[in-house]
Structure 1
Amino acid sequence: MSEALWITFAFTLGLLVKSVGLPPLVGYLAAGFALSGLATVTPLAVENTEFLDHVAHLGVLLLLFTVGLKLKLRSILSAEVIGGGLLHFTITTAIFTPAAYLVLGMDFQHAVLLAIALSFSSTVLAAKVLEGKRELRAFHGRVAIGILIVQDLIALVVMSVTSGESPSPWSLLVFALPLLRPALYRLLDASGHDELLVLLGLLLALVLGGIGFDAVGLSSELGALIFGAMLANHPRAIELSRSLWSVKEVFLVAFFLQIGIGGLPDHDALMFALVAALALPLKGVLFFFLLLAFRLRARSSFLTSLSLSNYSEFGLIVASVALPEWLIPLAIALSLSFVISAPINRISHSLYERYSQRLTPFEGHRRHPDEQPISLGDTRILVMGMGRTGSAAYDRLAEAEPNIMGLDSDPAKAHMHLKAGRNVVFADGEDTTFWADVKMPNLKAVVLAMSDIEGKVIAARQLRHKGFDGYIIAHTMFADEAELIKEAGANEAYLTMNETGVALASHIDDYMTHNHQPR
């Protein structure tokens, strides 16, 4: 009976929330609290069961595994990630500790632990939002995920210290895991494209990463992330991620339900959560200026900061070990931060576009790898977004036009294309600062092949604002999105599947024309 109610409430409130433009996960949280409230007024007892806990945990592990599949570890080992993450943790803990000690009347040790719990940002929410916007590989997405990994490692240390348990000596075998990469690559190659591929993902994320790491006293979440990252450089890593998508999404619903079903808050818990929500801008502002200090541009700092302006499920895990009496207040604060953060992150690019003139003066003058080109030179054709569609368009156009350039918001992908002989540079078409500075004296045509609709709309609009009167073409999956792109300034926006069908038909037409002439 409980399972039926979970599914019914999650679907109903998820659909309702989606209809007003918010991410469905906000509805899943609301469903959890609604179920908790239902249990107080009806004989239908809806409780947080061991089954729900288990499914929720599996969802988190699968999410972190798929995040790892899209990570390049070399991008995490950077000053802004390690320095920004450690400095933010230190400063936030130093601010929240005296507040908890003086205002809440806690003893100093518990005040420090509560401050630590509040200093973390949500890996689940940030990864889900970035993944939904296809920005995990964008510069600001990788910085955000890198900082979250730093925080998760800190949480692991805190939990180990407060629980009085230490990792097993067998945990040192983690340092030998890179030796398994060739074997994992061969397994991935041998798994095909069907159910064996899904089972391999489950084996690595839940068994080797989850149970394996837990058995040696390490975080199962960290294990899932590491096993995913070990496969990130494999050509089929994205295919593996997509094969796990539906399973992961369904399991994650349980995670959000679990938070709400934990119980309704009392007055004190609600007041604590409200005050904690009012402190969220402090987290975001601190991240913004710390990242600026590490030479990031205002846009990258702003988008990263918004992704991290929330509270973390790891805070609940820390509390379950050291502060069990604070679980409900922290759960409410976490839920409220999700309700605030999720819709704001959905419109993050539009927010930056609106306030960019106020934010860019805070930038320093030193250069950073996320610096973008200020001139397209002799470029006549520009391809924005160098995924599969953009790369195919680039290669076809390059046969007739030597003055062609590709842009991509992933520096690693831009570098890969350069090594392959394509003229591709790092730049983000959703960045108003890029459009304000860039010069394009010879540009005649633009292909918008970015993965998300918001990027295409902003790029088309900014091109027209720059006075570009050439040809702009885009592709998209849905007719309503095509209309939005054309309203923003594109000449044409073709439906991807329709064009695929037309291309297939043209091949048949060519074959029939040249090989089956009328008798």
Structure 2
Amino acid sequence: MEFTWILVALVFGVGVRLLRFPPLIGFLLAGFALNFLGYQANDTLHALADIGITLMLFTIGLKLNVIDLIKREIWLGAVTNMLVWIAAFIGLASLLGIIGVVYFDGMDVKNAALLAFALSFSSTVCVVKVLEENGEMKTRHGKLAIGVLVMQDVIAVIFLVVATGITPSIWALALVLLYWLKPLIGKLLHLAGHGELLPLTGFFLALGGYELFSLVGIKGDLGALLLGMLLSKHVKAAELSKALLSFKDLFLIGFFISIGFTTLPDMNMLFVSLILALLLPLKFLLFFGLFTRLQLRGRTAYLSGQVLSNYSEFGLIVVALCVNLGLVSTDWLVILALSVCFSFVLTSMVYQHSHQSYNRFKDFIRRFERPERLREDILHQPRNAEMLVVGMGRVGKGAYEALSAVLGDKVWGMDADRERVKKQRKAGCKIMLGDAEDVDLWENIDHSHIKLILLALPSIGDITNINQQLKNVNYQGKLAAIARYEDERRKLLSAGVDNVFNFYTEAGTGFAEESLTLMGHYNP
């Protein structure tokens, strides 16, 4: 990648960060700026973008539970949304054609259906990036959104097979043997240790899955995803995902920049792409309506609908294929590229305020809920709890164990990760499933006897939001939190958190104190 690309991406990334927008918006703008300045995308940029998407799908697979994908709200929600969207778009395209809107006049039903299909997909890259930045990958609405994306990927593979006429090789049947190779791959992960060999092993598995599926005529990205899912239960799956995180983010910058190199549009193309961007609220309403009809809570339907309300990079692949087959004009590839960019920007901007907007309109949103509740959406009470540890990862679990040693059953934990909750319940922990950013949760649990809540969460944005929600429900106890940096610690204290533990600084202090205790020099 040329140094100029890195420089422009950095300038735009920092610029939008100063405006408090996600950096990915800056990377998108950087691509258009470089295109305007006369730079051309080369094979290196496209290779970086492809590696970024492959790593992203592999890490998604590492966090997926296959059982989640067969839930009715996921497969039925994904398929029904796509069908309803296509029907609605055909009707809208016909209406726009009748009133003479450029590019829609003269469009037949077949072309409208193909474009609708391309626009029905939500962006895996955008959704995962937004959820990761907000620490919501394992929340109820986050897992629902990821499940819908995976179902869309399956539909995408079927479409590519049908549209191109290229059927998978007979050797594709041999891919089922990967399941029996699972123990061997697991041993490879153990041998990789915890150093530089671990991310290298991750690259080998992700890219190897891509190449293996491509060799037998199946979309390579699906291979990376499925290989990750195969290893999702491995004890080192979470560690491998974290080891690949920085690499994935770096390579994905190449993807966002590459979109801007598609072409420079004229005013008519810009106008039509803005019309398509204005249809995104319709996409949200379809997701929200379907999810609530499938008995999901209003908050889950609202947040997952918002994060899925964008257009996908896969839409560009669909339209590019249609252009090559002579089914649609080349101009539509440019129009969809712009629409994808606009949708990324809108999703990133709107989702930043999604929790606040839900809190503001929650009474209205709840009117659309069904009276029946899915079993996993029923909230449980932390009985007899005086202390509640929110976030039962390594730090939270350590705090829980230390407090439990003193207070016993008066200490409870809470986590949004269902699998983590199940595992820790089996280990004997008093733990409840719950998303601490869910205002419905705090309004429906009895917190009058809870004297202290510890927020062991990585995002200060989440902590600040939870702090405000606890104030809104008149929580009378104390609140403690962790922070990674001193500036984050000061922000949380100024926001009203009673005590903030600087994870990096004070962990060393605690280590030193325990070491001195061994020598008899310290008596806490």
TM-score of Structure 1 vs Structure 2, range by shorter chain: over 0.9
Question: 1:411-458, CA deviations, whole angstroms, 9 ceiling, x for partnerless residues?
Answer: 222111111111111111111111122212321211111232232222
Which residue is equivalent to 1:49? 42
1:208-227 equivalent positions in 2, closer than 5 A: 208-227=208-227
Secondary structure of the residue that 2:519 maps to in structure 1? Answer: helix
- 1-structure distance, mates of 2:347, 2:323: 25
Q: How many residues align?
A: 507
State which drifts further: 473-482 or 136-145.
Answer: 473-482
State which drifts further: 309-318 or 403-412.
Answer: 403-412
CA 290–312 in structure 1, closer or farther in 2 if over 3 Å, else same: same
Deviation at 1:377, TM superposition (A): 3.0
Which residue is equivalent to 2:67? 74
Q: Given the alignment of the two structures, is residue 390 of structure 1 paired with residue 396 of structure 2, yes or no?
A: yes
- 2-structure distance, mates of 1:48, 1:26: 19
Question: 1:363-401, CA deviations, whole angstroms, 9 ceiling, x for partnerless residues?
Answer: 111111342436433111111111111111111111121
1:33-432 equivalent positions in 2, closer than 5 A: 33-39=32-38, 46-101=39-94, 103=97, 104=104, 105-206=106-207, 208-323=208-323, 325=330, 326-373=332-379, 375-401=381-407, 402-432=409-439
Question: 1:212-232, CA deviations, whole angstroms, 9 ceiling, x for partnerless residues?
Answer: 111111111111111111111
Is the 8 Å Cα contact of residues 374 and 439 (structure 1) preserved in structure 2?
no
Aligned CA RMSD, in angstroms, stands at 1.7
**Residue segments in structure 1 that go unaligned for 5+ positions in a row:** 40-45
- 1-structure distance, mates of 2:516, 2:66: 47
- 2-structure distance, mates of 1:451, 1:235: 21
Which residue is equivalent to 1:439? 446
TM-score computed with the length of structure 2 as normaliser:
0.93
CA 467–100 in structure 1, closer or farther in 2 if over 3 Å, else same: closer
Question: 1:135-189, CA deviations, whole angstroms, 9 ceiling, x for partnerless residues?
Answer: 1111111110100011111111112211121111222223332222111111100
Amino acid at match of 1:441: S
Is the 8 Å Cα contact of residues 448 and 476 (structure 2) preserved in structure 1?
no
Deviation at 1:19, TM superposition (A): 1.2
Secondary structure of the residue that 1:244 maps to in structure 2? Answer: helix
Is the 8 Å Cα contact of residues 415 and 425 (structure 1) preserved in structure 2?
no
Amino acid at match of 1:478: Y
Question: 1:198-219, CA deviations, whole angstroms, 9 ceiling, x for partnerless residues?
Answer: 211111111x211111111111
- 2-structure distance, mates of 1:327, 1:468: 53
Question: 1:265-302, CA deviations, whole angstroms, 9 ceiling, x for partnerless residues?
Answer: 12221122101100000001110111111111111111
Which residue is equivalent to 1:457? 464
Is the 8 Å Cα contact of residues 378 and 403 (structure 1) preserved in structure 2?
yes
Is the 8 Å Cα contact of residues 448 and 475 (structure 2) preserved in structure 1?
no
Is the 8 Å Cα contact of residues 381 and 432 (structure 2) preserved in structure 1?
no
Is the 8 Å Cα contact of residues 429 and 458 (structure 1) preserved in structure 2?
no
Amino acid at match of 1:61: T
State which drifts further: 473-482 or 295-304.
Answer: 473-482
Which residue is equivalent to 2:498? 491
Amino acid at match of 1:502: T
- 1-structure distance, mates of 2:79, 2:297: 20
- 2-structure distance, mates of 1:175, 1:369: 33
Deviation at 1:459, TM superposition (A): 2.3
**Residue segments in structure 2 that go unaligned for 5+ positions in a row:** 98-103, 325-329
Is the 8 Å Cα contact of residues 86 and 120 (structure 2) preserved in structure 1?
yes
Amino acid at match of 2:437: E
Amino acid at match of 1:175: V
Is the 8 Å Cα contact of residues 353 and 431 (structure 1) preserved in structure 2?
no
- 1-structure distance, mates of 2:172, 2:269: 38
CA 361–108 in structure 1, closer or farther in 2 if over 3 Å, else same: closer
State which drifts further: 398-407 or 346-355.
Answer: 346-355
Is the 8 Å Cα contact of residues 375 and 440 (structure 1) preserved in structure 2?
no
- 1-structure distance, mates of 2:3, 2:505: 39
Amino acid at match of 2:398: A
- 2-structure distance, mates of 1:76, 1:244: 24
Question: 1:292-313, CA deviations, whole angstroms, 9 ceiling, x for partnerless residues?
Answer: 1111111111111111010001
Which residue is equivalent to 1:22? 21
Amino acid at match of 1:405: W
Amino acid at match of 1:342: S
CA 101–218 in structure 1, closer or farther in 2 if over 3 Å, else same: farther
Which residue is equivalent to 2:9? 10
Deviation at 1:20, TM superposition (A): 0.8
- 1-structure distance, mates of 2:341, 2:375: 35
Which residue is equivalent to 2:100? none
CA 218–101 in structure 1, closer or farther in 2 if over 3 Å, else same: farther
Amino acid at match of 1:113: L
- 2-structure distance, mates of 1:79, 1:368: 11
State which drifts further: 262-271 or 181-190.
Answer: 262-271
Which residue is equivalent to 2:101? none
Is the 8 Å Cα contact of residues 424 and 431 (structure 2) preserved in structure 1?
yes
Which residue is equivalent to 1:42? none
Q: Given the alignment of the two structures, is residue 500 of structure 1 paired with residue 501 of structure 2, yes or no?
A: no
Amino acid at match of 1:421: G
Is the 8 Å Cα contact of residues 382 and 407 (structure 1) preserved in structure 2?
yes
- 2-structure distance, mates of 1:70, 1:172: 25
Deviation at 1:514, TM superposition (A): 6.0
Is the 8 Å Cα contact of residues 377 and 440 (structure 1) preserved in structure 2?
no
TM-score computed with the length of structure 1 as normaliser:
0.94
- 2-structure distance, mates of 1:111, 1:466: 49
Question: 1:215-260, CA deviations, whole angstroms, 9 ceiling, x for partnerless residues?
Answer: 1111111111111111111121121112212221221111111110
Amino acid at match of 2:159: V
Secondary structure of the residue that 2:166 maps to in structure 1? Answer: coil
